[in-house]
């Protein structure tokens, strides 16, 4: 990464060109885009911010995101007064910078400031290392630890201040001193996951690594933040764990570093990722995880011998082991600077994965640093800056875990199908070797290990449960297009499930497994779990199962429950119903049927179910809305033929009545079927049939009237026949049938039905009267009283029906009443005749007065058509006082004459013919005048016919009508 923001790679003279396959690490020189005359004396990098200290005493602050903007900062005093910059310490957030000089002067610089502030409380303290606050505050440093060259550890709290009299550090407290008073070359403070009130502190010297873990003091014990030390109690109360290096040397490089996070599989605690530490000593690099109260128990030493020694230029002889001058941690590797070479060693297997010469001979470095927030790695010299770029650093991690048989971790870091397959195959083989075939089956099912090999291994070892697990896993890997493979594996699984279920049933029956320590209840639980697993398998993979094959397999094992479950799961309702019906389990069949909605299922099994479970079937049918009732009629008729029940309990009648009432448009066949059942019933009562017939409309009836009539006549349902005759309008036949069966009352009711046809009513009533009068035992008065219900019958109509020997005294009153009615009728006729004669006389008088009628025409009166003077030529005047010229009137009448137009034109043609006689001419003139002057065209029918004629013709102008 160049400082101008562009990507660049500049290889030193002794670096090789990059190959096609990139190494895990790559060293790139960073181009400096600004001139620097002085050497670097110290460098720090954090949060993508680079801090460089120059030998001139200047400090450069560069944001790598915007490298063109460089802050050039000077210390408050000259180098001759305070000394040269010796060390710099930058916190991970790049917010706080501490600068220490060779003369023991210390300064603090905040990211928002360009002026370093002297730390007066720390004057004369030679700072060697800093442990920043793990919460990474930005406004202040909060509580931090300072390691010095004299072996002391100080705690301080630095907060930027704009007030002149206030110091930057709130307090400085000595909290610890290392046992041998050697320089503190590294120090760090970390939070403890899941225990926020505790902290972990690591202190490193040339010969010791000290670990302290415990509860810190309150940060506000003096009433405000920064009021006092929080680490003093920790160092005083807790016992430190110390790891000593053998043969320590104060001249050997020593450093302590802690990684930002670890991605090692399984290093998770309470949702937080644990960190790694590394300590550089004379022995090598001691590294481990900060995962427990005793991190040294699981730490390991990466000795100096693991790092390749330099080769002599003469004869390739190995020289003494090179010293490690700097080191840092990546996610998976230890990066070390060994005599100008960048060496990367895998922390998991301690193998060297990268060894590249970077520096010139005898060229020293300022350090190998890590940007913890950006996970970048940097190498600084007095002249150059290098970035160590990690390229797919975890590419070979899976191999390390696989070699150590940590298969879960290996699978987590395997990339691509081939790597995952290699891990899965090895994991399955390992589990099988240990005898854990169940787990091996699950893993093998996801690998490419040969299907036949796995199956034979399971069969040979009689591990059928494991075989089942493997087949289930294998089935999920087949594509949908692999129909045959899926079908065969799924069918094999059905066989394995059935065998296992039978085995468990046999164990319960014979208590075979009870001797092996399993209780009967446990075996029952296993049976339930296995049945549930089979049901889940069928539900998920029913598309992969062939029905006939599965039916054969399950039936061969006699597993009724599983057979029915499979049929139900695959919606094979016909099979389930057939199964129960064949075994005459009617209630089970109905339970299956009530969950169905396919009409064909109901049509197919309705006949047998109506015969054996009519009531339950009808209950189900009445809840179905998508059935065609006509297709159920054969089952209903068959039931009616075999069932010896009353109509009130007849389920066919119940269903048909339900359909007629609730169906929007039941067909005539439904009605005819109900009529047929009622008519053919052994019951002598017609109440049910009559009730039905009376509830239906008569015009037109929804049933076949002829068919219904034939049935009623055949089965002697007289009242129903009479009702049907009446509905058909055949009242005469209805009355005759009623009278034939001596039902005079019913005949009288029917005789009254032809409303509006008095002639027919009278005829029918005469038939009733004749039957009533001649009925034996009926008295004359009773007969006459009965016949008074019809107002159309008179005594003279009834007399012919009475016997000759009847005494007139028996109906004297009726005769007198009839004579009085005739007398009144004669008087009414006489009055009407007188009124007619008077009207005729008045009409004759009005006709005679027409001969003397006249009309007065004023001299200036105009024609109502042409508006010209009326007296200018021949004209007509009407009684309504409208006057018209004869030619104007003739033209207007001719236009609206309609059918008379041709006749009028013929008369006009005859008038123009000179050959006719004068008498004929006079007749034609009179006839034309009669036609033309028949009525006033403004008051008569002619004006009504012209109602749609517009006031203004299309050829007329509208100016005179304008407003």
Q: Whose CA is closest to 585, among 627, 616, 623?
A: 616
Strands 352-357, 85-90: pairing is unpaired
- What are the 10-residue block averages of pLDDT along the chain, 963 residues in total? 44 40 83 78 91 90 86 88 92 93 92 90 93 90 93 92 73 91 92 84 93 81 63 90 84 87 42 74 89 84 82 46 83 90 89 89 88 91 90 84 84 84 82 77 76 79 79 81 86 85 78 58 81 85 86 85 82 80 84 83 86 87 88 87 84 88 86 86 83 82 86 83 80 79 76 73 72 64 64 59 56 66 78 87 79 79 88 85 86 76 78 77 80 82 78 64 57
Q: How many CA atoms, within 13 angstroms, populate the side-chain half-sphere of residue 685?
A: 6
CA distance 669 to 686: 21
φ/ψ (deg, to 5) at 594 = -70, -15
DSSP string, 300-318: EEEEGGGSPPPBPTTTT-B
Tokens of 858: 């004023």
For 822, the 3-state DSSP assignment is helix
CA distance 695 to 414: 82
Query: What secondary structure, in 3-state letters, does 844-904 show?
Result: HHHHHHHCCCCCCCCCCCECCCCCCEHHHCCEEECCCCCEEEHHHHHHHHHHCCHHHHHHH
| pLDDT value at residue 14 | 42
Q: Do 31 and 2 touch, CB atoms closer than 8 A?
A: yes
Tokens of 110: 């905040």
Q: How far is CA 449 from CA 418, 433, 475, in A?
A: 12, 15, 14
CA angle 376, 382, 386 (to 5 degrees): 25
Q: Do 619 and 609 touch, CB atoms closer than 8 A?
A: no
Q: DSSP state, 544?
A: G
| pLDDT value at residue 38 | 82
Tokens of 530: 């296995």
Report pTM: 0.56
Q: Do 373 and 260 touch, CB atoms closer than 8 A?
A: yes
| pLDDT value at residue 13 | 41
Handedness of CA 509, 515, 521, 526 (dihedral sign): negative
Q: How many CA atoms, within 13 angstroms, populate the side-chain half-sphere of residue 680?
A: 15
Tokens of 229: 């030390």
Cα dihedral 506, 509, 512, 516, rounded to 10, equals 110
Q: Do 207 and 281 touch, CB atoms closer than 8 A?
A: yes
Q: Do 701 and 727 touch, CB atoms closer than 8 A?
A: yes
Tokens of 121: 């409380």
Q: Do 775 and 744 touch, CB atoms closer than 8 A?
A: yes
Quickly count helices (H) and strands (E) in the chain.
32, 32
Q: Do 547 and 569 touch, CB atoms closer than 8 A?
A: no
């Amino acid at each position: 990464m160049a400082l101008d923001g562009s990507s660049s790679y500049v290889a030193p003279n002794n670096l090789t060109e990059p190959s096609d396959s990139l190494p895990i690490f790559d060293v790139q020189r960073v181009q400096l885009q600004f001139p620097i005359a002085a050497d670097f004396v110290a460098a720090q990098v954090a949060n993508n911010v680079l801090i460089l200290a120059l030998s001139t005493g200047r400090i450069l602050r560069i944001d790598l995101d915007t490298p063109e903007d460089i802050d050039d900062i000077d210390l408050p005093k000259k180098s001759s007064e305070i000394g040269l910059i010796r060390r710099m310490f930058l916190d991970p957030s790049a917010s706080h910078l501490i600068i220490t000089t060779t003369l023991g002067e210390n300064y603090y610089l905040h990211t928002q400031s360009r002026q370093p502030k002297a730390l007066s409380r720390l004057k004369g303290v030679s700072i060697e290392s800093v442990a920043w606050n793990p919460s990474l505050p930005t406004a202040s440093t909060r509580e931090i630890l300072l390691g010095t060259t004299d072996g002391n550890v100080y705690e301080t709290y630095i907060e930027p201040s704009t007030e002149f009299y206030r110091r930057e550090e709130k307090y400085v407290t000595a909290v610890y001193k290392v046992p041998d008073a050697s320089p503190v070359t590294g120090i760090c403070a970390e939070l403890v996951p899941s225990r926020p009130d505790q902290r972990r502190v690591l202190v490193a010297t040339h010969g010791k690594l000290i670990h302290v873990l415990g509860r810190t003091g309150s940060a506000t014990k003096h009433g405000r933040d920064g009021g006092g030390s929080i680490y003093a109690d920790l160092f005083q109360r807790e016992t430190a764990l110390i790891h000593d290096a053998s043969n320590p040397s104060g001249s050997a490089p020593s450093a302590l570093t802690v990684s930002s996070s670890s991605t090692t599989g399984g290093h998770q605690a309470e949702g937080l990722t644990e960190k790694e530490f590394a300590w550089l000593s004379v022995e090598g690099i001691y590294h481990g995880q900060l995962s427990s109260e005793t991190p040294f128990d699981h730490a390991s030493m990466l000795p100096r011998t693991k790092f390749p020694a330099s080769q002599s230029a003469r004869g390739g002889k190995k020289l003494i082991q090179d010293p490690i001058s700097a080191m840092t941690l990546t996610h998976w590797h230890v990066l070390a600077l060994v005599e100008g070479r960048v060496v990367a060693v895998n922390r998991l297997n301690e193998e060297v994965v990268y060894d590249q010469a970077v520096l010139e001979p005898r060229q020293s470095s300022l350090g190998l640093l890590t940007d913890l927030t950006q996970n970048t790695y940097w190498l600084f010299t007095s002249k150059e800056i290098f970035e160590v770029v990690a390229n797919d650093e975890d590419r070979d991690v899976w191999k390390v875990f696989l070699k150590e048989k940590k298969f879960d971790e290996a699978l987590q870091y395997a990339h691509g199908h081939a790597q995952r397959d290699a891990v899965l195959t090895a994991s399955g083989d390992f589990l099988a070797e240990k005898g854990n075939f169940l787990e091996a089956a699950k893993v093998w099912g996801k690998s490419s290990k040969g299907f036949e090999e796995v199956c034979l291994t399971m069969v040979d070892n009689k591990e059928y449960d494991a075989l089942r697990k493997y087949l289930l896993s294998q089935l999920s890997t087949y594509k949908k297009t692999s129909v045959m493979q899926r079908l065969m594996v799924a069918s094999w699984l059905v066989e394995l499930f059935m065998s296992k279920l039978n085995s468990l049933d046999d164990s319960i029956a014979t208590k075979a497994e009870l001797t092996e320590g399993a209780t009967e209840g446990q075996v029952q639980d296993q049976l339930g779990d296995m049945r549930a697993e089979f049901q889940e398998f069928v539900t998920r993979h029913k598309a992969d199962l062939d029905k006939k094959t599965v039916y054969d397999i399950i039936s061969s094992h006699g597993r009724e429950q599983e057979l029915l479950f499979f049929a139900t799961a695959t919606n094979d309702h016909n099979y389930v119903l057939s199964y129960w019906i064949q075994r005459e389990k009617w209630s089970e069949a109905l339970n299956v049927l009530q969950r169905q909605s396919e009409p064909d299922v109901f049509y197919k099994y309705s006949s047998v179910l109506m015969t054996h479970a009519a009531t339950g079937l009808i209950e189900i049918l009445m809840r179905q809305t998508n059935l065609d009732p006509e297709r159920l009629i054969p089952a209903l008729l068959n039931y009616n033929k075999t069932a010896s029940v009353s109509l009130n309990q007849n389920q066919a009648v119940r269903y048909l009545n339900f359909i007629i009432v609730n169906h929007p448009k039941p067909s005539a066949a439904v009605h005819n079927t109900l009529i047929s059942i009622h008519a053919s019933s052994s019951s002598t009562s017609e109440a049910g049939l009559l009730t039905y017939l009376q509830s239906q409309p008569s015009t037109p009836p929804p049933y076949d009237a002829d068919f219904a009539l034939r049935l009623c006549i055949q089965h002697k349902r007289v009242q129903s026949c009479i009702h049907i005759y009446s509905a058909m309008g055949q009242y005469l036949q209805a009355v005759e049938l009623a009278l034939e069966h001596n039902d005079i009352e019913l005949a009288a009711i029917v005789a009254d039905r032809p409303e509006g046809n008095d002639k027919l009513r009278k005829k029918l009533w005469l038939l009733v009267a004749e039957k009533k009068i001649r009925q034996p035992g009926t008295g004359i008065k009773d007969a006459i009283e009965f016949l008074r219900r019809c107002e159309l019958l008179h005594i003279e109509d009834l007399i012919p029906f009475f016997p000759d020997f009847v005494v007139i005294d028996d109906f004297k009153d009726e005769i007198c009443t009839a004579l009085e009615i005739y007398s009144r009728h004669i008087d009414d006729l006489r009055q009407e005749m007188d009124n007619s004669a008077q009207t005729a006389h008045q009409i004759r008088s009005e006709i005679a007065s027409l001969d003397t009628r006249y009309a007065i025409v004023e001299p200036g009166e105009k024609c109502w058509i042409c508006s010209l003077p009326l007296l200018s030529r021949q004209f007509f005047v009407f009684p309504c006082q409208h006057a018209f010229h004869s030619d104007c009137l003739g033209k207007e009448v001719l236009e609206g004459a309609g059918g008379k137009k041709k006749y009028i034109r013929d008369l006009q043609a005859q008038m123009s013919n000179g050959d006719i006689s004068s008498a004929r001419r006079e007749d034609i003139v009179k006839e034309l005048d009669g036609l033309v002057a028949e009525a006033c065209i403004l008051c008569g029918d002619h004006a009504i016919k012209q109602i749609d004629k517009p006031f203004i013709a299309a050829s007329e102008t509208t100016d005179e009508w304008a407003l």
